[in-house]
Amino acid sequence: MFLAVLAALLLTHPGGEARPPRTVPIPRVADAVVAVDGRLDEPVWGRAAVLRDFWQYLPTDGVAAEDSTVVLVWYSPTAIYFGIRAYQDSAGVRATVADRDHITGDDYVEILLDTFNDRRRAFLFGVNPLGVQADGTLRDTTRSIFATSTTGTSEAYAVDLSPDFVYESRGRQTAYGYEVEIRIPFQTLRYPSAQTQDWGINVIRRIQATGHETTWTPVRQADASFLAASGVLAGLTGLRAGIVLDLTPEVTSTVSGGPGSGGGWDYHGGEPRLGGSVRWGVTSNLSLNGTVKPDFSQVEADVAQLQYDPRSAVYFPESRPFFLDGLEYFRTPVSLMYTRRLVQPDAAFKLTGKSGGTSLAVLTGVDDSAGSAVHPVYNWLRLQRDVGGQSTLGLALTDREAGGRFNRVGAVDGRLVFGGAWTMVFQGGGSVTRDSGAATWAPFWSATLNRSGRSVGFAATFRGFHPDFQTSSGFVSRVNTAFASVLPSYTHHGAPGALLETWWVSLVVDGDWDYERLFAGDTPNHSQVQLSLGSTIRGGWQLSSALYREWFRYPAELYVDYAVMGCAAPGALPTDTVAPACARPFAPPAWLRNLGGALTLSTPRFQTFSLDASVTVGSDENFFEWASATLVIGTFDLTWRPSGQLRVNLLYDHQQYIRPDDGSTVRVRRVPRLKLEYQLTRSIFLRFVGQYDAQRTDALRDDGRTDAPLLVCAARAPATGACTAYTYAAAVSANALRADWLFSYRPTPGTVVFVGYGGGLEEPEAFRFRGLYRVSDGFFAKVSYLFRS
């Protein structure tokens, strides 16, 4: 009933003021011979359809683009061709010989092809002035000023650059700017089977010298849907993809080393591992993928992430090639389909595509047993149905089974766009889990209402997860919680050429509860008020600040093993055992109150460097001792491009909790990460990644109260559960250095040669680089080749 009411509401509000799309008939040329060399000098380009008269989208919309862009487009029976002439001061063009998908520091143009013309998702084909590629998918998302707090004008779309498509592109710099030529074979695309069809299209251009983003069709920041403003390539007919069959066999050899049982160093592995993947285009809009023992050794190690609440899990994005193709079909508002749960599949297959307004995604995989006799089996099913203009209704089902135990999740969801600027995203369902004995059912729900006004915006979110809810096939950072927030915002747009291009202000009021406390009508466990102010300054500078006030309720479940030392113990060692008679109850305050602020700066993408930096300072909850602490968080991301082929990236994360009474540090984590990439050619590069992760937690004490040492229960009586022995919460530290080297040859996606080495080291004291000792290392080599029919 609820879905029917929402659908009726949507259909009676078709999206506000209708704007007819810019429509261009596209010519079909069957006999043209074109060399993709970055020069638009063949006669066929004179017959192409012309896209011109671009409009600025960011930071201010509704203004004609300062720099002219002309896009030429035509198609043959087997491919679609684009020619780009981008006009600007040639001295200001940003261009490097970068690795695939690493062109965000350059000037670039992105072609968006909505082949189903449904205004919901699009293929993205990006190129920089040298023709270096960045590709993936683009989909509408809920605009939120808080999501990109440095800009104040967050995009109404999300780009996923993970998928890699096979297409050709070449570019060159010219006296007037740059020129790029692109050929996209129909084998690469999914599209309807109709004899004659229209495709949605838009073109995004980024000019780094000004920090402006322009689009071919005028897109308003007040629009709830970015793709709804797309134009149309009209009258495509007689498309021939042929037999779409991609076969990618691969051979991998890995040697891993580590400390041996006899005190030496042992290596194991080295045997060639055969595997591979196949993709079959069942129809022009439906693809079947399969893989057997795929190798993921080329995937770069995950960037270390800081954790703020020990009750919340940390999310790492998917980056493995097999899972990336068609990944957008598996997305849900709550991440119920997290393919990294399938760690090392022995075999997997998936079916993805769209037909008649319904998209389908199915994935089944058998995971490696990891030494156990049981092989977990995963199943994902995702269905989505288009409703009205830009809206969808969906169904998600997941299942994980292993040795008679299972976890199954089912949910319905929707994204409803109405009134021109309003979007509602919702999802609700539950899990059924059997670990042993009877199965347990538990619900979850999530809803977001958003108004994406050009000046006045609003967002409200409400979600909850029952304590027994589980998703073994998805990712939820924390259960037994309910959350609510409201976020009004205001954005001011300056006149064209103004120093202050935009400024904005927003207010966040939110709270979260333990699930049952919400339904009991209790106050939130945590509540926050945050005021943010930001601006975009001419030339691409972005600056923002925030002031927050928050309240935290004591989470007793985290401290059931804690006690306070109640006896004099001169000369006690951290390894000493403490008798229960010396343990006093841990009695921290019921609430902590925090006050702090943050500052964020982003420079323009200059020719040789760019910087993103943020600093947060203020009082915060010290979870280790449940006391107030001074929090210092800093993130610095510096990219230096000394030449068109060398790229240096330094990322540094700093997290420190300082006791306010004596200035001692209770917890500090410092993570510098250095990445060096040298691009010999577009297909060959060398990469080095070094990451140091230094963590130290001080000996814990009853800070701000008795200042006595904290104790942790080490043993409990089996019958009563009473603690029979305590140990000191002693200081701990870990200092780990990781270094990875890679040689990569990748002329096209799927055809690769990788040779690499990775090693881990540790040392007693942080950043001394004395006494380093190896704890692991490994060598790998991989060869794969894409056979395409």
pTM recorded for the entire structure = 0.88
Q: Transcribe 216-252 into DSSP letters.
A: SS---TT-S-SGGG-EEEEEEE-------EEEEEEEE
Q: Is the pLDDT of residue 530 over 50?
A: yes
Q: What is the CATH number of the domain that holds 192?
A: 2.60.40.1190
Please tell me which residue, 709 or 369, carries the higher pLDDT value.
709
Residue 130 inside a domain? The answer is yes
**Rg of the chain taking only CA atoms, in angstroms:** 28
Residue 689 inside a domain? The answer is no
Q: What is the pLDDT of residues 402-458, one digit of tens each?
A: 988 999 999 999 999 988 889 999 999 999 999 888 899 999 999 999 998 889 999
HEC profile of 3-56: HHHHHHHHHHCCCCCCCCCCEEECCECCCCCCCCCCCCCCHHHHHCEEECCCEE
Q: How high is the mean pLDDT of the chain?
A: 90
713 residue type, one letter: C
| pLDDT level of residue 13 (50, 70, 90 thresholds) | very low
Residue 692 inside a domain? The answer is no
**The dihedral formed by the CA atoms of 28, 30, 35 and 41, expressed in degrees to the nearest 10:** -60
CA 97 to chain centre: 25
Mean pLDDT value across residues 748-770: 92
Per-residue pLDDT, 16: 42
What percent of the chain is predicted at pLDDT more than 70?
Answer: 92
Helix (H, G, I), strand (E, B) or coil at 322: helix
Q: Is the pLDDT of residue 4 over 60?
A: no
| pLDDT level of residue 12 (50, 70, 90 thresholds) | very low
The parent domain of residue 36 ranges over 2-237
Mean pLDDT value across residues 259-277: 86
Per-residue pLDDT, 45: 97
**Whole-angstrom Cα distance, residue 321 to residue 316?**
15
Residue 141 inside a domain? The answer is yes
Q: Is the pLDDT of residue 572 over 60?
A: no
Residue 181 inside a domain? The answer is yes
CA atoms within 13 A on the CB side of 544: 29
Per-residue pLDDT, 371: 61
Spell out the residues 6+ positions from residue 488 whose beta carbon is closer than 8 angstroms to its own: 456, 457, 458, 506, 507
Q: Please, what is the end-to-end C-alpha distance for the chain in angstroms?
A: 48
199 neighbors 236 (Cβ within 8 angstroms):
yes
Sign of CA dihedral 765, 766, 768, 774: positive
| pLDDT level of residue 3 (50, 70, 90 thresholds) | very low
Q: What is the pLDDT of residues 90-106, one digit of tens each?
A: 999 999 999 899 999 99
Residue 545 φ/ψ region, left for φ over 0, alpha for ψ in the -120 to 50 degree band, beta for the rest: beta
Q: What is the pLDDT of residues 486-517, one digit of tens each?
A: 999 999 999 888 999 999 999 999 999 999 99
**Whole-angstrom Cα distance, residue 184 to residue 355?**
22
Per-residue pLDDT, 362: 97
Residue 166 inside a domain? The answer is yes
Mean pLDDT value across residues 217-242: 92
**The dihedral formed by the CA atoms of 697, 699, 704 and 705, expressed in degrees to the nearest 10:** 140
Residue 174 inside a domain? The answer is yes
**Whole-angstrom Cα distance, residue 317 to residue 161?**
12
**Whole-angstrom Cα distance, residue 542 to residue 137?**
26
Per-residue pLDDT, 149: 38
Mean pLDDT value across residues 611-625: 95
123 neighbors 116 (Cβ within 8 angstroms):
no
Per-residue pLDDT, 432: 97
Number of domains in the chain: 1
Please tell me which residue, 397 or 311, carries the higher pLDDT value.
397
Helix (H, G, I), strand (E, B) or coil at 305: coil
Out of 140-144, 160-164, 181-185, give the one with best mean pLDDT: 181-185
Per-residue pLDDT, 419: 85
396 neighbors 413 (Cβ within 8 angstroms):
yes
Q: What is the pLDDT of residues 200-210, one digit of tens each?
A: 999 999 999 99
757 neighbors 779 (Cβ within 8 angstroms):
yes
**Whole-angstrom Cα distance, residue 279 to residue 236?**
25
Task: Return the ∠ at Cα 330 (arms to 324 and 336), rounded to 5°.
Answer: 115
Q: What is the pLDDT of residues 330-351, one digit of tens each?
A: 999 999 999 889 888 899 999 9
Residue 46 inside a domain? The answer is yes
Read off φ and ψ for residue 221, nearest 5 degrees. Answer: -70, -15
Q: What is the DSSP secondary structure assignment for residue 709, as one 8-state letter?
A: B
Q: Is the pLDDT of residue 183 over 50?
A: yes
Measured from the Cβ of residue 204, the count of other Cβ atoms closer than 10 Å reads: 24
